[in-house]
Amino acid sequence: MTIATGPLHPESALGATTPELREFVVFRTLGQDFCIDILCVREIRGWTKPSNLPHAPAFVEGVINLRGAIIPIVDLADRLGLSAIAEDERNVIIVTSLGEKVTGLVVETVTDILSVPAADIQPVPDLSSDELRAVLRGLVVHQGRLLRLLDIAAILGPELAA
């Protein structure tokens, strides 16, 4: 079941995403709110159980066939060092594109598509671990929620981003 397909960067009344206004896909996993740049998102799909892939990194749940293309599926919570997400048919897969590399991220739910002034993106505090700082591009406070802005290239790492 496909929830949304094609590029998810819709034209707004202001035109395409500008440096002054950034658009993010907001999602939740293990009770925490995260977001990624909408320009990295190809589509949002309903849950599809991946096929296991021997010798894959621990955070890779397997692969799925996406309209003839085999793509790896990453458990985002596991990749971030949290507990792995429990397999649930309500989970969704955010299909990301980084250059020519397409990867799916398993999350519990997508909650919003959000436009944020670039000035509202706060730097990651110095008290964060180097490992955490490596995958975060910043923090956004929106309607009382703290959104962690993820760096997709860092999340995928050299194993999947190449």
Please answer whether residues 93 and 104 qualify as being in contact, where contact means their C-beta atoms are separated by less than 8 angstroms: yes
162 within domain boundaries: no
Q: Which residue has the tokens 């707004």?
A: 12
Please answer whether residues 106 and 91 qualify as being in contact, where contact means their C-beta atoms are separated by less than 8 angstroms: yes
Residue-level pLDDT at 15: 42
131 within domain boundaries: yes
Average pLDDT across each block of 10 residues of the chain; the chain has 162 residues. List them in order: 46 51 94 94 95 90 94 92 86 93 95 92 77 83 90 80 54
145 within domain boundaries: yes
Task: Give tens-digit pLDDT for 65-104.
Answer: 999 999 999 999 999 888 888 888 899 999 999 888 999 9
CATH code of the domain in which 148 resides: 2.40.50.180
Domain total for the chain? 1
Q: What is the pTM of this model?
A: 0.82
Q: Which residues contact 98 (CB under 8 A, 6 or more apart)?
A: 40, 152, 153, 156, 161
